[in-house]
Each structure stands twice: as structure tokens, then as C-alpha cells.
């Protein structure tokens, strides 16, 4: 387990900014902390970091097309069918946001929408990848080397 944690720390350190769309793990932790996500709906910063990693590999501008024709946007891969308007398909747009805003480097729209998703039933279980790779696992190593203040 220690080897796995070391690998993830080293791998995410290499992601410092090889591409302008990748956010460093500790930079993301600081932003999430400043936006009061530590403990939000019972989830810790390591939960949020694990979510961002398994969904987008910390890629702020990731867009993924789904088999149903909807798209997932941004660092948390927020779906266009329910949460944002991509102007390509029908959307409930529960977050009242343009999907392109979820690709912004300031992350505020993504964070606000993710909080709305989290506030509904299911919490982080709404993200399949989080359920598969983060739920019930020790996650504290995601904060290794990060200084929030």
C-alpha cells in the first residue's frame, strides 16, 4: 500500500503543469480547502482529490463524450444531460451553467456545480469512478506534501 501511495505522489508531482490544462494536486487541494469543501456533505479533501484524479487526471479542460450523446466536462466530469447546458442536446441544466464554464481554470463554476450534485441524494456516489476507485479506501495519502496555509 505504501508503494502505491508513493507512486501516486510521484506521478501527480510530475503533473505539475506539463500541459496548461493539468492542475497540480496540492494546488487543487488548496483551492478546494479555500472553497470550504473539506467536510462538505461529510467528504474530506482527499475524497475530492481522488474524485478529480479518477475522473479527469486533474485535467481542467477534459471533455468526454458518452454513449448516450451527452458529454462530461471539466475536472469533475460533470454531465451535460443533467447539470450544464452544452447547446448540443437536451439538458436539465440543474446547475444553471454553460458547460464551457466548467472548463475554466478558476474552477468556481465546477466547484459550485459539484456542490449542488453532492447536496442531492448519493453524494459522491453519483460519480461511478469515485465509487469504484475511492469509496471505502484509505485516501489520506492524496494530501501528502500539500500545505494548505
| Domains of the chain, start order | 23-142 (1.10.530.10)
Grade residue 88 by pLDDT with cuts at 50, 70 and 90.
Answer: confident
Contact 58, 22 (CB under 8 A): yes
CA–CA distance, 49 with 28 (Å, rounded to integer): 8
Q: Are 88 and 71 in contact (CB under 8 A)?
A: yes
What pLDDT is stored for residue 1 in this prediction? 46
- Which residues touch 85 (CB under 8 Å, ≥6 apart)? 91, 93, 97, 98, 99
* Average of per-residue pLDDT across 113-125: 94
Catalytic residue from among 47, 55, 86, 101 = 55
User: Would you state the pLDDT for residue 149?
Assistant: 75
- Is 72 one of the annotated active-site residues of the chain? yes
Q: Is residue 129 among the annotated active site residues? A: no
Residue 24 has pLDDT above 90, yes or no: yes
Q: Give the active site residue among 19, 36, 68, 72.
A: 72
CB 40 within 8 A of CB 118: yes
pLDDT category of residue 12 using cuts at 50, 70 and 90: very low
Q: How far from chain centre, in Å, is Cα 7?
A: 20
Amino acid at each position: 500500500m505504501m508503494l502505491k501511495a508513493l507512486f501516486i505522489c510521484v506521478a501527480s508531482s510530475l503533473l505539475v503543469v506539463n500541459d496548461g490544462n493539468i492542475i497540480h494536486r496540492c494546488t487543487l487541494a488548496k483551492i478546494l480547502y479555500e472553497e470550504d469543501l473539506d467536510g462538505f456533505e461529510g467528504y474530506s479533501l482527499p475524497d475530492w482529490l481522488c474524485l478529480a484524479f479518477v475522473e479527469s487526471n486533474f485535467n481542467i479542460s477534459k471533455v468526454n463524450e458518452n454513449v448516450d450523446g451527452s458529454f462530461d466536462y471539466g475536472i469533475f466530469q460533470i454531465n451535460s444531460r443533467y447539470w450544464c447546458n452544452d447547446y448540443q442536446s437536451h439538458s436539465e441544466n440543474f446547475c444553471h451553467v454553460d458547460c464551457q464554464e466548467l472548463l475554466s481554470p478558476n474552477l468556481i463554476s465546477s466547484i459550485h456545480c459539484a456542490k449542488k450534485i453532492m447536496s442531492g441524494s448519493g453524494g459522491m456516489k453519483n460519480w461511478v469512478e469515485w465509487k469504484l476507485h475511492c469509496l471505502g479506501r484509505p485516501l489520506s495519502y492524496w494530501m501528502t506534501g500539500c500545505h494548505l496555509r
